[in-house]
Structure 1
Amino acid sequence: MSELNVDRRFGQVINYYLDLAASGAHSPTGEPRTEKYLRTSRGLADSHIPGDVRQERFLGLDLQRLQHLLDEAAVRSEKAAVGLRRFLHDLDTFAAHIGLLPEPRTKELRLPGAWRRERLLDDRALGMAWTALIRCSDAGTLPSRISCLATLVSAATLQPIGSVLDLRRDWLTPVGWTRHDTGHQVYAPALARPWLELALDKGDRAHGEGGTLLVFPSAGKGAQPDLPISLETVHDMCKLALDDVAKPQDLAFTGLQRLRESGAGVFADRIAGPCAGAPDAAHVAILDAWTGQLEELRKSSEAKRWR
């Protein structure tokens, strides 16, 4: 195969595939792909496959890296994640057909269950979930602990779980973090700050001290220090801790909805961001009060457990 050798970059394989798809070459039926398919596929690739990933060797991309692309798309749009998974599978099927791969790698790609629609929790479920997450954060495997710590931080700060998973160590400040890519400043209540420190410790245990730039890195078998723990892993680990009481995204969603129902929708939008500018006194007071409520619910949940 002279046109596409084993050292070709991801972006080159994408372009080669779409060019041939337009002509019908390598199609089982010999029919060219529709204009809509080509346009949609190009849009998905441009929107959800970053330039640095496109420069990587196509054959060097493992399943974990491809799953991360899918997780990132899922944070932004369920529809985009479904489309990207289909496109990546088409691309790998094409690569296997022309002999670049022995078989498609994408058969095991999973659509992240963590982006399923959020559920509003009542006080009982919220207290049970918060209690279970705190227990999980200090017991079990590294993937389990990192997943629960990320979910706790998401719940305490009312930030989307996907945004929390992207958190980098150099973004951290004494009272939260500032995203260097958007300027969004996040206040972390005092209750949440030890969890950030614990996550750094778990990351060091997984990859060696200073071995990762991420606060919540992947951990366990095949872990890569430059990839955050995946949404799918967080979903799976939290399912073990929370059972059917709640999903990882439900806690932050419930907090924001309660703010909106109380007439503080402006603050809910400001907290969830993205919005540059330091959190003001009202913002800080709201999040401190929210974590205080969670702690009261935890104490109530634990008291009922021992009655």
Structure 2
Amino acid sequence: MPSWSPAPGQDRRAWEIEVAQIRQQHETLALEAGRIIDGAERRYRGRVDRVEFHTIGTGSDAVAARVYVPEGEGPHPALLVLHGGAWWMGGGTTCFELNDPLCRRLCDEAQAIVVNLDYRLAPEHPFPVQLDDTRAALAWMHADAAGLGIDPARLGVLGMSSGANVAASTVRTLRDEGGPAVLVQVLMMPSLDMTASSPSWQAEPDQREGALRLRQLYLQDVVEPTDPRVSPLLADDFSALPPAVVVVATEDTLRDDGKLYAAALTEAGVQADLHEFVMTHIGGTDEVNELMNQAVVAGVRRHLHP
């Protein structure tokens, strides 16, 4: 794991190179694991009209996105996809390759334009850069809807693991500060409490300690882990948030984050569909993965094609 800032006397550029090297090592392993675990799913190609690359301005920088456009006449609803990777890895080629099968499937079967976003990563870019990039992407999807073939009234966001944290935090920020309306938040194996206080975390103290150290790459000294902007599960008000599709895994220390979040939404009168599958954080058998993907696609289609 890299340090979240340059060592005393270390040049920032040298530190950035060091972080990039460590990230590349981890992402190489992640790509290989993904190719092995999801072999059957990776053969899915579906019926996609075209795939485009776009650059999205964020105000201070620009980020890349891979955009999947379905067959048929638009405008189409659109879904923003946020990759996982503990806020510090999983971007670039990794997110474009690992997410490609699911993005194609969502585009085809949910008949939606899918925007797979390569948002900026910690520790070079700590909180709130990831939220800023996500909001910029949604604003771009809304403002450029006509050119992209998007129906701006039918937007959704899907996040995986740490990406689900960013998704849940973003829809809360949009509710409180204004922005494009989001019809659904799809949270897959979500990390929603930076204090790792849920029972499933408390039962695994060694994993919890490692997770807390890793999360400092994102939090640094910018924000407290109890802040709802990074721990949406710890918020006081869950009303008026978008309906949710929440996926959790039985063998995942994050499982209670998702369960408790779905329960909090339900108590606040927000529709939350909770799906639990016998799998680990990174997947299960081909049969279980297929059931999970079916649930995700069905949820997206239901909310974006009301």
TM range (shorter): under 0.3
Higher strand share: 2
Which structure would you say has the larger Rg? 1
Higher relative contact order (CA closer than 8 Å, sequence separation 6+): 1
Higher helix share: 1
TM-score (norm: length of structure 1): 0.27
